[in-house]
Structure 1
Amino acid sequence: MATGDSTSGNKLGLEKSPYLLQHASNPVHWYPWGEEAFAAARKQNKLIFLSVGYSTCHWCHVMERESFENSEIAKIMNANFINVKVDREERPDVDKVYMTFVTASSGRGGWPMSVFLTPELVPVAGGTYFPPEDRFGRIGFPTLLTTLANKWQENEEKFKESGSKILEVLDRTSRLSAPRGSDLPADEAFARCLTQLSRSYEPEYGGFSESPKFPQPANLTFLFTYNALFPQLDDAKHGLKMSLHTLDKMDQGGIHDHVAQGFARYSTDKQWHVPHFEKMLYDQAQLVHAYLDAFLATGRPRYAEVVRDILTYVMRDLSHPSGGFYSAEDADSLPEPNSEHKREGAFCVWSHEEVTQLLSGPVTPGHKSTLAEVFCHHYSVADGGNVNPYQDPHDELKNQNVLIEHGTVEETGREFGLSLEQCEAALERARVILFEARRQRPRPHLDDKMVTAWNGMMLGAMARAGAVLGEVKYTQRALEAANFIKTNMYQDGKLLRAAYSGPENQVSLGSCIAGFVDDYAWMVRGFLNMYETTLDCEWLVLAEQLQDKQDELFWDKKGAGYFMTQSGDDSILLRIKEDQDGAEPSGNSVSVGNLVRLAPLLARPDFTEKAESIFRLFYERLCKIPIALPEMNAALLLYHQPPTQIILAGKKDSDSLRQMIQAVHRETLPCRVLMLVTDSQDCGAFIRERHPSLAKYRPKGEEDTLAYVCRDFSCQLPVNTPDLLKERLKIPMSQ
């Protein structure tokens, strides 16, 4: 092992990624991913140490503090390795290749991801977080560094041979091929998915695991879709019950920020109580859809309130002035402005003493109880804190409280002799006081990177919320995001991966990383949702153009399905097709759902053929372990159902048309095909070109909108009011 120090220096200072910039002052001589690092590894014949994470990752911060800021550990790294930092959100392709290796070799994955590569980029060893010293039976990072450096010097050929064999196995196992002559998966896949979700369901607090607990919105998408299509079936009713119970418990839990809105990434415990406090844009977007589905399935106002809660947070804290959406907020922050070290959850938690002081007044004039007593009772605030020490391994939450509701507002009101209205008003007043107090605290780090895929996800959720809730401010915000993407992220017919917030809120494109398949898939879906909300064909045209470009760049022309990456990057050793719906649904799952929706809308049978090819490619997975692909299963459900065509004939942007659009969106119609017939040349001509039969449908008058509902190639007589349209849409398909 070498003991001298390299002179390359830390090269992250000119990067745009917030995660890379967080490490720009480390004593480690970091390189960004690229040829400069690879050439140095080849020239110096050193292993590459690849560290992958993201800027709001709690354990990434821990490993940085313990190891990457440690000058003695940095000396070992600099002398013996070429050290490379990657933001997984910026380069999901790099992350996916090496996470596949780490998961296969160690049985678990996560971030930070720590991988050792040969100069040819072949992985030879890896894991996730490593402590700064050997402890609890876990190898310390310095020990690992020393061991690998010595082994490389002693027998690098054996290392390379081992790595090449590993890569061959990964390449072979990552390939997918459809069974020859296989039928399309159908009822077997749906039944097994329901069974597997039921088995993994935790009935006391909801969710589909014991602990830690993740929201897993893709599971809810499948269950809500199944219930919408087959509400009379007992297993569909059970699926709806699981979904609603999960969403209720999340709403009440500490994973939900009761003071400043939005949801944390996940909870460390079974009760949804103690989260890792980072908030991710992609979680907010998916949960908007989940709570909208719950609202449509039940009509309960609370679910709509949660949607507004999430969107309030996103519009206030995750929005760039130009219209884009930021990626995330960190879990860690300074407890006090003059503190030296950040603590997890410091921005969000409360001591009993602080709450009592801030809420010292009476709950209502002349009432014997204080506002603090009512608030502490309702949100389980305890003297000495309410966090289980087992959920706080670093004692960062000692004597602190994470707000959680264990009872209803009605029950709290009865406890203190308050009416429901009085109790709701008191709790709202208390939350406002605490929100203002929290604004005085040091804020957590904001990852102001704007990822195209997540912006597509969020603008699609925002647009749908505007349509379902009938609130123009959400539609307008979605429009701003869509125009942001068009202006900044869409160049020469292709998407870029990310933009960054520059000085004075200017938009910076950084290194102009080309978009990945999920960027295209989510933007297609976002633009499709924009079209369904506004019936402005500009967004439908863009959705089709992006879908065609995605097919050109990512479709496997020798097989089927979409690769995650474009061809041509020699540094990406494996071209992988994602086959699992995790924290984010896979690119193939989102894409096949888009194809199923676009095919009848655009009269594109080739889109149907592509969708069928994807379903066949994933036949085995859909039939044997469908719980791995719930989003794709939801798309498969839609594929097997005949679409309901809803043709609106009216003046674009008229009040009557907007009312009709909202009437459509307030019904649970997953298989709808929504089209506008108008005298305008742009949208009207575009739709009539694809569907010549629509030429016979004409607007009745300047301010009237007629609605035709068509099923099984048969259209019913038109209706001219939202109420009549709602009645028509409620008629079962078989009638």
Structure 2
Amino acid sequence: MNSRKSFAIARFSKYSNFKNNSLFTSCGTIIKLQQRTMASSSTPKNESKSAKNRLQHEKSPYLLQHQSNPVNWYPWSNEAFELAKSSNKPIFLSVGYSTCHWCHVMERESFQDNLIAKVMNEKFINIKMDREERPDVDKIYMTFVQAISGSGGWPMSVWMTPNLRPFYGGTYYPPDDRYYGRPGFRSILETISDQWVEDQEKCENSATKILDVLNRAANLPTGETITNGQPAASRCLQQLTRSYEPSFGGFSEHPKFPQPVNLHFLMDWAMKNPNDPTRFSVIKMVETTLKEMAKGGIHDHIGQGFARYSTDKKWFVPHFEKMLYDQAQLAVAYSNAYLLTKDEFYTTIVRDILSYVGRDLTHPEENGIYSAEDADSKFSFDSVEKKEGAFYVFTDSEIEEILGKNKQLSNGKARVADVFRIRYGIKPNGNVDPLSDPHDELKQQNVLFEAMTIPNIAKKFDVSEAEISNVLDEAKTVLFNYRNINRPRPGLDTKFVTSWNGLMITGYAKAGMALQSQEYIDRGVKAMEFLVKYVFTTDKNGKFDLLRSCYRDEQNQGVCNLQTPIFGCVDDFANLLQQRQDELFWDDAVGGYFTSRAGDESVIIRMKDDDDGAEPSSNSTSVINLIRLNSFLQDASYSSKIEKLFKQFSDRISKVPITLPVMTSALTTNTKGAHTIVYNADDASTKESIRKQLLPLGTALIGLESKNHEEISQLLPYAKISLTKDITGRKFCIFSKGQDSPNETISSLDELDKLWV
């Protein structure tokens, strides 16, 4: 168990006494799960596709995937809550997302099963939730599941009282008692229903105690002072170094996730500590991770982009879903790696990622960016069942047939198909270890990975590297066209999540600056215009607000919203507009931002996002915004919020900064003093030079052009003093902590670098 997970569980367990497969032992084990005799997995499925449940009226692709289940699903809604109360039935909540492989498995095995659906419909009120629509609600119940089981994941399965208090939960369950004597889903349903009927009071008492535990665990210990940035950063570096896997990079043995938040911290640390003797090893951790990922099967070598994670330590066999938030953050990570090292390799991967996003994840007319592509699809249009990775893998015979038997290198020493086999590790019987493929979905298949370098292949066949590169590029184009024509594409989640679009806009902006690409900057602007058009709105009081998401209209391919819209959670605002976020989510008592709005009766606990995981936490992103805004707006309220927020998370940062690496980087910036850099954007060489610098997290960078002097002066209260004369002569004005005049006026990038030491 890594330190990130163990800290979260330990913090919760401090108040609780949970055991797996039983409930809250401090008040007596109220549920003891037993095996039951039940139908085999050949139980007849729902054959009728005409009858649909209430999910047919939703817009989320994940919810629509379940609209024809025989389960009487409700969305997360007052209608479901009131029915549970009036019928006095417990609620079964199932949470997932459209690209979740095991969510699809549980649907196929259990939710399409008529007998299981009958038990669910008779004895429970069943709610299906897309976690990407309500991450605030998902966080509450995932905290509970992690506490009782020691781990979490999706699909998440939670049983709760009609007033939404959980009393049992887990993740994926097989339909029957097939695995090592452990009870299957139907057995669990029957047992929980029996316990509810026989002793409802004990279930409710247990749920009340659990809620009390959740409430206490949600109250983070607040420090009296702000943790010093440098010691916290040193501890974070030590913890990341201990978790680092040196052979192939990454921060675990397996499975391996990209974890861009860790890479961002390491690069920020390396930039701020240029004279530290460990700097080389820190940069090596970043480079090994990024380069091994790019070589591995987690990288789609045919169609670009990255899968969510790999199941092994070599980044080889992925779970094949592709998430927008990964593409966005990896675009930033590879861009920053280029700025840090000046290695052109990283620019090729940035272009690779953005090519995929622009081609496959972007609405062609409106320029909003979709959420994800599925892991599962059919091998052909004639296939009956979907398989994980079917769109991406190839048999050896397919490589032979598609690339042709006769095409050879110029010297005749090898066929192109054989060169491709060597480069990407193709084997006659497939290259996936059966232990990595328990369901035989990849049997005889090959996951493409870079098994041999181009220079070594060129040497082997006595041709130029350029020729090898060209024939491989041509082969990849042939395979790209083949799979797009002959294979059904994986499902596309056509939901536009506001916060993820914000992350991608950042990715485009960073790539545009690092690679000096106006195209990428323009794409980011278009995505921003999409958000302004479709998710900026007003609440019932006429105040500015944001929607959590909008959707592609599957009838006319336009963009639509829910009839009852879901308003933005804190992470949506953390990427956009600070003042309204402060009004809706700020904790005046102790600081920090709640994940949910006040007054939502369906949210039993207002929690705070306190983990930089798959994405930066909303509190980490928010404090960076506050630091940057305070740097050039001189707003005392921002200074106060920065201090309170860091105090709120000081205990966590001082003990386990590995859980908040982005916030730890922000803390070091705040400790030293944030900078606003105003540069002469009229001069092309100055503009190009400054944009190629890797700057500390939280730095505000403003280009001053002759045409925008007045605009900048209005933006920066202190700019009216001497900004125009200070910026002449290709100089940079450096303002620290929003002081009244530039602390330094410098004329070279060498001098600029010294600011961070």
Counterpart contact for 1:711–1:733, Cα < 8 Å: no
Q: Distance in 1 between matches of 2:672 and 2:557?
A: 47
Partner residue in 2 for 1:683: 711
Q: Deviations over 1:24-80 (max 9, x none)?
A: 000000000111101111111111110000011000000000000011111111111
Q: Which of these residues, 373, 378, 389, is aligned with residue 345 of structure 1?
A: 389
Change (3 A) 1:386 1:650: closer
Cα distance per residue 1:418-477 (max 9 Å; x no partner)? 211111112111111111111111000000000000000001111111111011110110
Q: How many Å apart are 1:733 and its aligned residue?
A: 5.3
Give runs of aligned pairs for residues 178-327 of structure 1, distance below 5 A. Answer: 178-179=222-223, 181-320=224-363, 321-327=365-371
Partners of 2:654 and 2:78 lie apart in 1 by 42
Q: Contact 1:363–1:374 (CA<8 Å) still a contact in 2?
A: no
Residue number in structure 1 paired with 2:566: 513
Paired residues, number? 692
Q: Match of 2:547?
A: 496
Distance 2:421 2:221 in 1: 57
2:654 counterpart residue number: 623
Contact 2:272–2:756, Cα closer than 8 Å, also in 1? no
1:19 lines up with 2:45 in the alignment = no
Match of 2:666 among 620, 627, 635: 635
**Structure 1 residues 733 and 54, CA, compared in 2 at 3 Å: closer, same or farther?**
closer
The Cα shift of 1:697 comes to: 3.0
The amino acid of 1:489's aligned partner reads V
The separation in 2 between residues aligned to 1:49 and 1:57, in whole angstroms, is 19
Structure 1 residue 650, shift from structure 2 partner: 5.3
SS across alignment from 2:231: helix
1:548-584 residue CA offsets vs partner (Å, 9 max, x unmatched)? 1111110001111000011010110000001111111
State the partner residue of 1:564. 595
Structure 1 counterpart of 2:11? none
Counterpart of 2:15 in structure 1 is none
The one-letter code of the counterpart of 2:417 is A
* Number of the residue aligned with 1:419: 464
Mapped contact 2:712–2:719 kept (Cα < 8 A): no
2:510 pairs, out of 437, 442, 464, with 464
Deviation at 1:297, TM superposition (A): 1.3
Give, as a single letter, the amino acid of the residue that structure 1 aligns with 2:443.
K
Do structure 1's residue 409 and structure 2's residue 454 form an aligned pair?
yes
- After superposition, where does 1:94-173 map in structure 2 within 5 Å? 94-137=137-180, 138-173=182-217
2:719 maps to a residue whose letter is H
Q: Structure 2: 5+ residue runs without aligned partners?
A: 1-35, 37-45, 539-543
CA RMSD of aligned residues (A): 2.0
Q: State the distance in 1 between where 2:496 and 2:175 align.
A: 33
Q: CA deviation at 1:366?
A: 4.4
Rounded to whole Å, the distance in 1 between the matches of 2:636 and 2:162 is: 47
Q: 1:372 to 1:170 in 2, by over 3 A?
A: same
* Residues 726, 745 of structure 2: 8 Å contact kept: no
Name the residue aligned to 1:528: none
Tell me which moved more, 500-509 or 337-346: 500-509
1:387 aligns with 2:432: yes
1:662 counterpart = 2:688: yes
Equivalent position amino acid for 1:101 in 2: F
Q: CA deviation at 1:505?
A: 2.4
Match of 2:720 among 692, 699, 711: 692
Measure, in 1, the Cα distance between the counterparts of 2:280 and 2:727.
Answer: 40
Q: TM-score scaled to structure 2, two decimals?
A: 0.88
Q: Choose 372-381 or 642-651, whichever is displaced more.
A: 642-651
Q: Secondary structure at the match of 2:275?
A: coil
CA distance in 1, matches of 2:209, 2:157: 20
CA distance in 2, matches of 1:422, 1:466: 30
Query: Are 1:327 and 1:449, in contact at CA under 8 Å, matched by a contact in 2?
Result: yes
Letter in 2 for 1:520: F
Amino acid at match of 2:647: R
Partners in 2 of 1:381 and 1:339 — Cα distance?
23
The separation in 2 between residues aligned to 1:638 and 1:597, in whole angstroms, is 10
Aligned residue number for residue 12 of structure 2? none
Q: Contact (CA 8 Å) 1:708, 1:715: kept in 2 or not?
A: no
Instruction: Report the CA distance shift for 1:417/1:147 in structure 2 as closer, same or farther (over 3 A).
Output: same
Task: Report the CA distance between 1:260 and its aligned residue.
Answer: 0.2
For the 8 Å contact 2:746–2:752, the answer to whether it is kept is no
Give the percent of matched residue pairs that are identical in Structure 1 and Structure 2. 46
Q: 1:35 to 1:244 in 2, by over 3 A?
A: same
Shift of 1:605: 3.7
How far apart, in 2, do the equivalents of 1:496 and 1:289 lie?
25
Which residue is 2:41 aligned to?
A: none
Q: Distance in 2 between matches of 1:650 and 1:405?
A: 42
Matched residue, 1:722: none
Distance 1:171 1:487 in 2: 38
Q: Which amino acid aligns with 1:76?
A: V
Give the distance between the partners of 2:649 and 2:301, measured in 1 at CA.
40
Contact 1:133/1:143 (CA < 8 Å) preserved in 2? yes
Are residues 596 and 715 of structure 1, via their aligned partners in 2, closer, same or farther at CA, if it must alter by over 3 Å?
closer
CA contact (8 A) 1:185 1:615 kept: no
Aligned mate of 2:752, from 706, 722, 729: 729
Alpha-carbon displacement from aligned partner over 1:616-666 (angstroms, at most 9, x marks no partner): 111111111111111111111211233444323455xxxx45x53332121
Counterpart of 1:276 in structure 2: which amino acid? H
Alpha carbons 1:332, 1:343 under 8 Å: kept: yes
